[in-house]
């Protein structure tokens, strides 16, 4: 679960600036919670949510629901805060020259996202590897890039590709591999027979297109026995 750093800034902080306050030794703190809401947007969304409650037949004035529209408005702004962040800036903020040219793997990165078809959560794990070509990136930046893309309305396939492409574009490594395994509530809550189904997506580039490199990556991300 991620209820770590609570930042209550009034304005959106550019990702690379926000990061300057947080040393890399915070890893594996994968998420910074950004509780930053535009008042006007909160009001607009909250009014719509109230309409939805009434349309569903609820009494929007009963005690348990009085503050629900505003809570939902804030929650959805938090769950989509990735739109305001620049994944490339995050990567560029911690690039280092390094001759290391073996696979670097960050596995079991928690992913929480919203499917864009139902606005319901999908969640699971991401595994990201790359083979450097003269540049490495601070390890904590990889989960942050995953989060920036996950905190948007998504489909799992596009999320996987966007993570690969951002790392490929900025680091220009010899190859990038991304695998995401996730469960989708829009499937699980609506079909009793699908409650244990996991969806796996993958995106590879460069060296990972070679069978041997890909096989090594897949072996490394296999769950520990
Ligand atoms: Zn869905």
Q: Residue 58: which CATH number?
A: 1.10.286.10
The answer to whether 26 is a known catalytic residue is no
Structural domain ending residue among the three candidates 76, 97, 124: 76
Number of domains in the chain: 2
The answer to whether 184 is a known catalytic residue is yes
The answer to whether 156 is a known catalytic residue is yes
The answer to whether 115 is a known catalytic residue is yes
Report pLDDT digits (tens) over 18-72.
Answer: 333 333 333 333 334 455 577 889 999 999 999 999 999 999 999 999 999 999 9
The catalytic residue among 7, 21, 98, 117 is 117
User: Do 52 and 110 lie in a common domain?
Assistant: no
User: Do 47 and 122 lie in a common domain?
Assistant: no
Structural domain ending residue among the three candidates 49, 76, 103: 76
CA distances 124 to 100, 152, 166, Å, are: 30, 15, 20
Does residue 16 fall inside a structural domain? no
How many A from CA of 184 to the centre of ligand 1?
A: 7
Does residue 25 fall inside a structural domain? no
208: which 2 tokens?
A: 């990972």
The catalytic residue among 77, 115, 162, 207 is 115
User: Do 53 and 97 lie in a common domain?
Assistant: no
The pLDDT > 70 percentage for the chain reads 80
How many A from CA of 190 to the centre of ligand 1?
A: 10
pTM for this predicted structure: 0.82
Residue 60: which residues within 8 A CB-CB, separation 6 or more? 50, 53, 54, 66, 68, 69
User: Do 72 and 91 lie in a common domain?
Assistant: no
User: Do 70 and 131 lie in a common domain?
Assistant: no
How many A from CA of 122 to the centre of ligand 1?
A: 8
Q: Show the domain range for 178.
A: 87-221
């Amino acid at each position: 679960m991620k209820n770590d750093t609570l930042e209550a800034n009034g304005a959106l902080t550019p990702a690379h600036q926000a990061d300057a306050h947080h040393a890399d030794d915070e890893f594996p703190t994968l998420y910074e919670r950004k509780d930053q809401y535009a008042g006007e947007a909160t009001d607009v969304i909250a009014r719509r949510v109230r309409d939805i409650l009434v349309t569903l037949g609820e009494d929007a004035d009963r005690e348990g629901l009085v503050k629900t529209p505003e809570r939902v408005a804030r929650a959805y702004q938090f769950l989509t805060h990735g739109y305001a962040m620049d994944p490339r800036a995050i990567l560029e903020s911690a690039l280092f020259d390094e001759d290391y040219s073996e696979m670097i793997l960050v596995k079991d990165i928690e992913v929480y996202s919203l499917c864009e078809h139902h606005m319901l959560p999908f969640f699971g794990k991401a595994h990201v590897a790359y083979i450097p070509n003269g540049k490495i990136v601070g390890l904590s930046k990889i989960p942050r890039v995953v989060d920036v893309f996950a905190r948007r309305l998504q489909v799992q396939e596009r999320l996987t590709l966007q993570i690969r492409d951002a790392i490929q574009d900025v680091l220009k490594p010899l190859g990038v591999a991304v695998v995401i395994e996730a469960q989708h509530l829009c499937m699980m809550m609506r079909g009793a027979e699908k409650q244990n189904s996991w969806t796996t997506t993958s995106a590879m580039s460069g060296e990972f297109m070679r069978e041997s490199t890909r096989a090594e990556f897949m072996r490394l991300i296999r769950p520990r026995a």
